[in-house]
Amino acid sequence: MTEESLDAFRSVSRKPGLQIWTINNMKMAPVSPRGYGNFFEGDCYIVLYNRGSRQSIDIHYWIGNTSSQDEQGAAAIYVTQLDEYLGGSPLQHREVQGYESPRFRGYFKNGLIYKKGGVASGFHHVDTNVYNILRLLHVKGRKHVTATEVEVSWNSFNNGDIFLLDIGKAIVQWNGPQSNRREKLKAVLLAQDIRDRERGGRAQIGVVEGGDEKDSPELMKIMTAVLGQRNGPVREATPDDRSDQAQNNNVRLYHVFEHSGNLVVQEVATEPLTQDLLRSSDCYIADQRGSSVMVWKGKQASKEERREALNRALGYIKAKNYPSSTSVKVMSEGGESAMFKHLFKSWRDKGQTQGLGTTYNVGKIAKVDQTKFDVMQLHARPELAAQHRMVDDASGDVTVWRIENLELAEVNRRTYGQFYGGDCYLVLYTYQRSGQQQYILYMWQGRHATTDEITACAYQAVNVDNKYNGAPVQVRVVMGKEPRHFLAIFKGKLIIFEGGTGRASAVNPDKGARLFQVRGNDELSTKATEVQARASSLNTNDVFLLKTDHVSYLWYGKGCSGDERVVGRAMSDVLSKQDKQVVMEGQEPAEFWVALGGKGPYASDKRMQREEPLHSPRLFECSNQTGRFRMTEVDDFTQDDLDEEDVMLLDTWEEIFLWVGNLANQYETKEAWNSAQEYLRTHPARRDPDTPIIFVKEGHEPPTFTGWFNAWDPHKWSVSESDLNMISLTHVLCHQDFSNLNKSPGGSYQAPGGPMTSPPVYRTHGGDLSPRPATPTSPSTLRTQSPVLMNLSPSSRFNLTFTDGGIKSPSAGYSGKFLDPELLINKSPSELPQGVDPSQREAHLSDVDFENLLGSSRADFLRLPKWRQTDLKKKAGLF
């Protein structure tokens, strides 16, 4: 590493947060935080994000579409050296303009702006308070927004996207008729961000609905003055350049090394991969058929081999003729991403713990005592509920129905817990949380049930769900894959019969000797499963009950614990009223083997533990819009990523949750089950297709779901998310007074963030760029000028009042006049500027000042209880 590189890296902060550099004259030049999110297409960037915990640094290098090969090479070298400078633990990513990873896009909540040119041309990322601007931004995206500078012309417009016409003192947002609510809101947030960061909060924002341009005559005059009269209709919507990557279950692992100056790629294995294939002394590439290339660096690999890992990945992409936009990630042993781990059938981190402190050592055969957990902690600590898959202590009410003649037949309570492989059942569990009734509806499908019965089970589940107004969480349970809470609600009396039926009128054939395998450590985790009555079914780690016509044998394997023996005896009393003869492994009487058809080999190795290794949870947005199941991963997810219009898939490895927003597309909701099964079927780690799938509706999330999210807010959706978003959107449009705009652009012109030049060559039509609108004095007048208000729900309209200054929401206290925070903080009522309500000081803050002082957006602030709002205002000096 050169002294020059060391000098550049000394500016790297070890504190949590984001840092960005651009490559200028082949050197790293820091970008001002005000310019974050702005990327010149002719440049390359290095983006470092530090989460503040061990092995939590990500280094991205971003490649602009028109950047030079020299700049790209310099960026790659700096990334490798920066990784080495930080100890080799960061995760490295290669990002290409227009194909950025969800993690990269997630750093810029208000979107990415692609600018023409580059720093080498004399442009700057952001110059604040510069108003001689003229540009048109093409905005795309629902989750992650990108805005690309395009030709300032009507020819750039289309009906499916959103466009921001930025003329310095005003930003006009034009919404394509086929754009949706989420896209419109994201575009408004981007416009707000430009206003606050680049114009000091002093630019004005207006919105035009492309399908109703006549409702915004004043704004259309501005657009026409700049763009000219439109000749003909706007172009039809154009499809995105690319669809979200479909899950690729074709994974190959390669050992990549150099031999005699040549790059050698040697295939090691195909899916499903296992962790033991990775040797610490080597470097490997995992290739998902070109959709993603991931490089793994072993800790004991040579320094040269680790340093060259990124370059070898790039050479591999060229050798395979993959697109230049192919995603590349480089990681070190011990710092693997969740996506990488999910490529493997099983993965165990060094020193990994499971449950509440039980440690497992890979490769050692030993019996480890399981640590019991306190079920009383489940409500207080939802993260425990999620980890243990338990919503409560299973003390709620249970109702069980069996599918008989395709209808529901209630099961006799004396037989609760007995499930037959030839049947399907519905189990409704009711419990209390925070004083409210909560429901879980389990759909248990027997292995030998008919297709009609399985279909009827799903149909009847819908009927029960409707009876409770959609409140139940629905869980599909395949025979033999019962989740822990399902076991717990039957208090150690759950019995799974291999075949037959539990119907009262049915006569099950006499099968002679029957063998049941009993597993569990307490009544919350125990079940008995019927297995073939053969010696090969035995397992040295478990308890078995062999039931014959004359006697029942309770068989204890050498590897079972004392707790397992206790629950085994209790279960044997449920299964058989006969006297039990206890048989220790190795001391079986001859009659025991005769009942099993003769003595034979069986699983006799003591296991260490059978639990599935922990995997980090992953959240995906699901879509079938193209006719093929596709998903977009949401990186570093929070509750805010659960959008009302979406169907989301949360994969916790042992369970799959399908979360459906209240405004989700009806077709996607209907297809959600198929999507989850397709996800499991195509998973590169060859996942169990019978993994439990849990259907969760917005507002009815159980703690087993919410526990995977940090700081879950149960009141987030108590007020309609769309109403809150529209109030926020309306706030942008309040009090827009375009009379202060210059009547002509005149004077010098500055390219976006660039140097002063002569005025741009464009024609003004009509001469006046900014006609004065009529002052809104009535609801009808204002709605004409701000047609987006027509989309407000009736309840939202009811809460808005109209004043001479614009719109005011009693709950939000918006006034439309932003003040310097110094005029509001720690001031007595008499010291406040005229017209400021002492109890609503926050209403006069710009969005940036609001978030800085109160720590949340306006919409999030409105969701908080009144006492919490008051507490935050007191701490900020606004009360």
Q: pLDDT (tens digit, 9 = 90+) per residue, 843-869?
A: 888 877 887 788 777 877 776 767 678
The domain of 323 spans: 252-343
155 shares a domain with 108: no
Q: Is 836 helix (H, G, I), strand (E, B) or coil?
A: coil
What is the Cα–Cα distance from 340 to 294, expressed in whole angstroms?
Answer: 7
Is the pLDDT score of 48 beyond 80?
yes
More confident residue, 370 or 707: 707
This prediction has a pTM of 0.53
Is 554's pLDDT higher than 80?
Answer: yes
At residue 582, φ and ψ (nearest 5 deg) are: -75, 130
Regarding whether 509 and 575 lie in a shared domain, the answer is yes
Q: State whether 291 and 394 are in the same domain.
A: no
222 or 578, which is more confident? 222
Torsion of CA 186, 191, 196, 199, to 10 degrees: 170
Indicate if 592 and 538 belong to the same structural domain: yes
Residue 204 lies inside a defined structural domain of this protein: yes
* CA gap 210, 312 in Å, rounded: 49
68 in any annotated domain: yes
| pLDDT per position as a tens digit, 793-831 | 333 333 333 333 333 333 333 334 578 888 888 888 888
Q: Which of 121, 144, 161 is the last residue of a domain?
A: 121
pLDDT per residue over 743-791, tens digit each?
433 333 233 333 333 333 333 333 333 333 333 332 322 223 333 333 3
Judge whether residue 439 has pLDDT over 90: yes
* Mean pLDDT for all residues in the chain: 76
* Residue position matching structure tokens 């099968």: 511
Tell me the backbone φ, ψ of residue 512, rounded to 5 degrees: 75, -135
* Same domain (yes/no): 545, 645: no
Same domain? For 544 and 407 the reply is yes
Burial degree of 641 (CB within 10 A; 0-12, 13-18, 19+): middle
Summarised one tens digit per residue, pLDDT across range 49-67 is: 987 655 578 999 999 999 9
Domain shared by 482 and 571, yes or no: yes
Residue 192 resides in a domain: yes
C-alpha distances in Å from residue 298, one per residue of 165, 279, 283: 50, 7, 6
Percent of residues, the chain, with pLDDT higher than 90: 19
Q: How far apart are CA 184 and CA 697, in angstroms?
A: 25
Same domain, 828 and 851: yes
> What single letter denotes the amino acid at residue 782?
L
Tokens of residue 183, six digits: 């896209």
Cis peptide before 272 (omega within 30 of 0): yes
Look-up: residue for tokens 């769309």? Answer: 722
Please report whether residue 383 resides in a domain. Answer: no
Determine the average pLDDT of the residues in 357-383: 40
Over residues 557-602, the pLDDT tens digits come to 988 888 889 989 999 888 888 888 999 999 999 999 999 999 888 8
368: in domain: no
| Residues 213 and 309 placed together within one structural domain of the fold | no
Residues 650 and 591 placed together within one structural domain of the fold: no
Asked if 24 and 98 sit in the same domain, the reply is: yes
Question: Looking at 76, 99, 121, which one is the last position of a domain?
Answer: 121
CB 83 within 8 A of CB 12: no
The end-to-end CA distance of the chain, in Å, is 54
Which pair of tokens denotes residue 857? 């957006």
How many Å separate Cα 70 from the centre of its chain?
36
- More confident position, 745 or 525: 525
Q: What is the DSSP letter of 161?
A: S
Coil, helix or strand at residue 491: coil
In a domain, 532, yes or no: yes
Give me the number of domains the chain comprises.
Answer: 6
**CATH code of the domain covering residue 295:** 3.40.20.10
Out of 213-217, 543-547, 720-724, least confident range? 720-724
pLDDT digits (tens, 9 = 90+) for 66-99: 998 888 888 888 888 888 888 888 888 999 998 8
Give yes or no for a contact between 553 and 546, defined as CB atoms under 8 angstroms apart: yes
How many C-beta neighbours within 10 Å does residue 281 have? 10
Tell me the pLDDT tens digit for each residue of 697-721: 888 888 788 878 766 677 777 654 4
106 within a domain of the structure (yes/no):
yes
Residue 864 resides in a domain: yes
Last residue of a domain, one of 227, 260, 284: 227
The answer to whether residue 419 scores a pLDDT higher than 50 is yes
**Same domain as 549, residue 482:** yes
The predicted pLDDT at position 229 comes to 92
